[in-house]
């Protein structure tokens, strides 16, 4: 069964082709922190929204977040 992911941009029902994410770690764990998903038309908008959210986030001691970027979704 294939999972279908929709674009995170408000009122957009198109299928996402990119994941908007940044590397996150806290000293003992590391993962890719997802901020949203974007269709081809809204990649820039979803990235800009993610960057705004990241600026407002207060890091805990020992926590770090890398640069926000995009990752292609498999089979998109």
Residue 24 belongs to some domain of the structure: yes
Alpha carbon distance 46, 30 (integer Å): 23
Instruction: Give the burial class of 50: count Cβ atoms within 10 A of its Cβ; 0-12 exposed, 13-18 middle, 19 or more buried.
Output: buried
The per-residue pLDDT for 4 is 86
In sequence order, the β-bridge partners of residue 15 are: 6
Domain holding 26, by residue range, is: 19-72
For residue 33, tell me if it sits in a domain: yes
Q: Does some domain include residue 9?
A: no
The reply to whether 3 falls in a domain is: no
Per the domain annotation, does 6 fall within a domain? no
Q: Does 56 reside within a domain?
A: yes
Q: What is the mean pLDDT of residues 9-29?
A: 95
Segment 48-76, tens digit of pLDDT: 999 998 888 898 999 999 999 999 998 55
**Six-digit token string for 49:** 């929204």
In the chain, the number of structural domains is 1
pLDDT of residue 75: 59
Q: What is the pLDDT of residue 48?
A: 96
- Tell me the average pLDDT across 17-33: 94
Burial class (CB in 10 A: 0-12, 13-18, 19+), 3: exposed
* pLDDT of 31: 94
């Amino acid at each position: 069964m294939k999972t279908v992911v929709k674009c995170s941009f408000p009122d957009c029902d198109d299928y996402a082709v990119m994941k908007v994410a940044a590397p996150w770690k806290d000293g003992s764990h590391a993962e890719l922190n997802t901020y949203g998903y974007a269709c081809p038309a809204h990649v820039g908008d979803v990235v800009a929204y993610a960057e705004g959210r990241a600026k407002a986030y207060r890091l805990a001691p020992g926590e770090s977040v890398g640069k926000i970027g995009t990752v292609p979704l498999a089979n998109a």
